[in-house]
Each structure stands twice: as C-alpha cells, then as structure tokens.
Chains A and B, each alone.
Chain A
C-alpha cells in the first residue's frame, strides 16, 4: 500500500486525502487559536513559531544534509540585528528589511559552507561553534549595532497595518511559519532535496553520481542560515529589544536539541520538537510554580542544594532529555510516531 507506482507520487506534497484534511484542520486550528486562549498563550505560540522556523532550517542542514552546526545562534543574531538596523538606521520597510537581513544571513551561511566543504565531524563542529561565538562578539563590540547596550526594535508596520499586539503579530508569524514549513517540505521533494539526502547518506557516492558537492553543501548552509535569519528578524519583534548576550552558545545548543528531540530528517518532527522544548523552556523558567514537583524541588533544594540556583534545573532537564533520546530513541519524536504507526497498522500481530 506504500508502494509508489509513478514519479509524481514521490514528489507530490500531500500523499493522501487524509493528510490534506488534517493539514486543513490544523490551519483552521491555528487561525482560531488566539480567540480561545489567554493572551499569554499567544505569546507562547509566537515563541514556539520562531523556534519552529529555525529548527526546520537547522534540520535541513543537520538532518537532511548530514552537516553539523553549533553556530546557528550566529545566523539568528545576524537576522535579528540586520532587520532592526535596516529598519531603524536605514528606514527600510519591514517587508524589505526582513528578507534582506535573512539574505545577509544566507550569505554568511554560504561563506561558512565554504570551509565546511573540507571539514567533517568534530572539525566542522568547532568551526561552526567558533563562527557563532565570533559573530556575537563582533556585534557586541561595534557601536553602530548598539554595542553592549543593545538596540530597541522599531514599530512594526506592514503597509497600512500596525502590528502592535501579540495577536496581530501571531498572524504574521503563523503565516510565515506555515509558508516556510511547506517550502521546506517542497524543497526536500525536489532535485535539491534528493541531492541533500544523497550527500548525507554517502557524499563520495553522491559525487560520483553527479551531485555537485560544492554547490549543494554551500546551498544547504545558505538555506539553513536563511531560515535562521528570518526567525531572528521576527524574534527581535517578540523581545522588542535585542542585545548580544541573548545569542549565546547555549542558544545554538538548544536549537540542536530541538532538532534531535523532534527527529533528524523530519519536518513534522522539527515542528513537534521545537514546540515541546520551547514550551518546557518557558515552563522551567519559573520552576517553583509547577504543581507538586515545584514544592518537592523546593524542599530538595533547601536541604541538599541551594534555592538561588534552582532555575538551573532546566539545564539538567534538557541535558537528560538529550542523553536519553540519543540512547533510547535516536530518531526522537518522529521515531516514536513511526513505530506507533507501524504498530497499529499491523495490529493484532
């Protein structure tokens, strides 16, 4: 039943009517979401949507092309600073500034992709990590970019509309997220996506089959950086204020963690992983207010640990998640989903 008989079946965006139905239902849900929940949850949804964009982009690089990046906070920062600077200093409209900043990020992605052509494994990890750290250091030292004080994000206007509440911004953000997610899925189904996957599975074999490694590896970096740049530009409007200390190595690690938790090489997995970890991130920031567990942790902290450091439990939680996922379910949420599906399909057996 999963057999493909025609090339078109391999490249089509929706493989069955059921998927079209669920996709439509999901879109309706997203459209109605702000009307039924409190304002805080709209903010949470915005935060999630931004992470979803970055994580989809990072998954194109890590999950589909098989490269490692520990520097995505750098691209994220370029997007955020690019958008804000273009809007406030060069008075570009938002519609132009956001893609322009993302293209700058993509250019940096292309440049980082060049040394990455010759590097793999730990070498690539340290090179991308160094890039991420260097970018924020440089931005933090240049007065034009606000230096250590940071920059205030200007008002967000698109044509005649003023987007000044979380709900207005939510619609912009969700539209972009859905578009970018569909675009990523589409990309994977094309010639380019197949080249990415071939490079991941065996780069030398791919090269002998005629895949241009130079072009597709740098392209993967550029596309991934473009996604991070868009997300960064939007993140500036969620925070309304940006400073270099936001874009740390820890942020790059969190992006990678979201990819891993969601599942390598899966767009749906990326969405799930990004939503889950962003939700946990926001919840763990005020850990004491979680019912039952909060009280128990408070008692534990007072007797064995310190109460001032209790917010650092989030590191332990995320670290445990990373280790356990890698040990027991290397494909993350996507892997669990695949297994459940298989189980029910063949059920009594």
Chain B
C-alpha cells in the first residue's frame, strides 16, 4: 500500500511536466492546427539560455529565469513570424515536416554550443532533498513542479475563457476568415499563441533541467506530452491535463508492478489502444468530415 501511494505520488510529479508540455502543444494546435514537434526543443533552447546566463555570466536566479522566459516568448514570436507564416496553405504532413525541421535546427544549435555531455543546472531548490507527507516522500522539486503546473493551468484556463485575447484566440480557431472580418488580427493572434505556448514549454523545461540537463532531455517529456495531448483530444486543455496525469500514474504503476523495463513503452501502447476506441481522443467530440 505504501509503495502504491509512493508510485502515485511520483506519477503525479512526472505527470505535471507532461501536462505542461501537453498544454503547450494544445494551445498551438487549438488556434492554428499545427502539431508542433518543435515544442520540446523550444523549451530546451530557453532552458540552456538560462543555464548560460547562470553559469557563464553569473546572473542571479530571478534575473536568469525571467530572461529565459522572455527569451522563450520572443522565440515563439520569431518562429511563427519567420517560418510558420511563410508556409503557403500547407497540409498536415507539411506542418509536421516544418516543425520537425525547426526541432532539428534548435537541437543542432544547442548541442553544437554546449556539446552532448550532461550538465548540472544550478537551481535554488535541491532536486534530491525530499520531505514526507504521511508516509510518502516527495522531493522539493517535484512539489514545486506540481504547484507551478497547477498555477499555470488555472491562469491559462481563466485567461482563455474570460479574457478578450482568449476569446479572440477561440474565434480564430473556429473560423479564421470570419474572425478577420470581425476585426481580429489573426496573424497577431497566431504570434501571441506561439509566444504563450513557448512560455509554458519553457517553464516545463526549467523544471526538468535540474534533474537532467543534456540536449535530448526534452524528447521524453515532449513525446509523452504530445501523447497526452492526443489522448485528451488535441483541442481540450483539461483533456490534455487529465491524460497527462493518467499517463504519468499508469506509467509509474506499470513500472512498479509489471516491469520496470517496459515502463516508457507502455505509454504508447495506451495511446494506440485509446485511439483505437476513441479516434479523436477522450475529451473531444468526434468531428465528422463533410464532403
């Protein structure tokens, strides 16, 4: 029983990073229908930017992290403006290829600059010191990740539902020609969407960096976050969050009770199963194409 609770706790902790990545992907997919494979590497380059400021220029934490977050927003703006907007009427395959291309460029830049060997990211909270809640041990970093993830989720949820910008984003998603006629600058909305998404990804990256810091560190969170987003229906924020926590917990339980070796393979088996039963995810209404 104790093991069980411990596994659930670590599952929730891992699920938080998946959830952040999943949310970041959903935000972009909702507004522009781009399955953004570059999400992980956008977070990666922002985290390494923070690392560079801390390690080479000796900036204090709050300045370095703030700079990294601003950098990530600008990066999102830049990528949308310079690449995605230039693509003329691309299909899904085209968008996937473009974002994979961006992903490889960013990955190449980071690993060219910093090399492939693991780094240790300085962080105000130790990732190894833990405290006990009842009999369950949770590390301080895991706790922080969970709290930050929840705060971001709530803010985003409120923002997307009630703010003027959030409503404009929804309008753009539903029919961007009509939105444009109504006076919404859809191009600007796209840019802002990419900025927000990149920001959320960067938060996830900064929270992952203290435990592992090397150029491939974002692949696993990205793929699991993407998997969670797909499982939740690609357009539903709460869906992505629920699916991410489910994935994290199931993965940990599977690792604990069945086989630790196939732990990360099980997530994809679940995805394929879920998609077989509900092809557009758990929380999205099934969209039937009209001819």
Interface, chain A (partner B; CB < 8 A): 62, 66, 68, 70, 114-115, 118-123, 125-127, 129-131, 133-134, 137-138, 141, 202, 204-205, 249, 253, 256-257, 260, 264, 301, 304-306, 308-310, 312-323, 325-327, 330
Q: How far is the CA of A130 from the CA of B271 in the complex (A)?
A: 8
Chain A positions within 8 Å of B104 at CB level: 253, 315-316, 318-319, 322
User: Are A125 and B269 in touch, CB under 8 angstroms?
Assistant: no
A121 and B92 contact, Cβ closer than 8 Å, known pairs A204-B289, A323-B101, A326-B97: yes
- 7 intermolecular pairs with C-beta atoms under 8 Å apart: A123-B280, A130-B271, A309-B115, A312-B107, A319-B100, A319-B102, A323-B98
A319: min CB distance to chain B, Å: 3
Chain A positions within 8 Å of B279 at CB level: 118-119, 123
Q: How far is the CA of A343 from the CA of B106 in the complex (A)?
A: 37
A141 and B261 contact, Cβ closer than 8 Å, known pairs A131-B272, A309-B114, A326-B97: yes
Size category of the binding interface on chain B: 35 or more
Across the interface, A314 reaches (CB within 8 A) one of B35, B108, B223, B267, namely: B108
User: Are A130 and B227 in touch, CB under 8 angstroms?
Assistant: yes
Across the interface, B101 reaches (CB within 8 A) one of A70, A126, A321, namely: A321
Across the interface, B112 reaches (CB within 8 A) one of A253, A306, A326, A330, namely: A306
Chain A positions within 8 Å of B211 at CB level: none
B290's closest neighbor in chain A, by CB?
Answer: A204
B230 at the interface (CB under 8 A from A): yes
A326 and B98 contact, Cβ closer than 8 Å, known pairs A134-B268, A138-B262, A204-B289: yes
CB within 8 Å of A: which B221-256 residues:
223, 226-227, 230, 234
Across the interface, B227 reaches (CB within 8 A) one of A126, A131, A312, namely: A126
A141 and B262 contact, Cβ closer than 8 Å, known pairs A305-B112, A306-B113, A315-B105: yes
B291 at the interface (CB under 8 A from A): yes
Interface, chain B (partner A; CB < 8 A): 29, 35, 83, 86-87, 90, 92-94, 96-98, 100-109, 111-117, 215, 219, 223, 226-227, 230, 234, 261-262, 264-265, 267-269, 271-272, 275-276, 279-281, 289, 291
A316 and B108 contact, Cβ closer than 8 Å, known pairs A122-B35, A134-B268: yes
Q: Which of B104, B117, B262 has the most CB of A within 10 A?
A: B104
A138: min CB distance to chain B, Å: 6
A32: min CB distance to chain B, Å: 37
User: Are A137 and B262 in touch, CB under 8 angstroms?
Assistant: yes
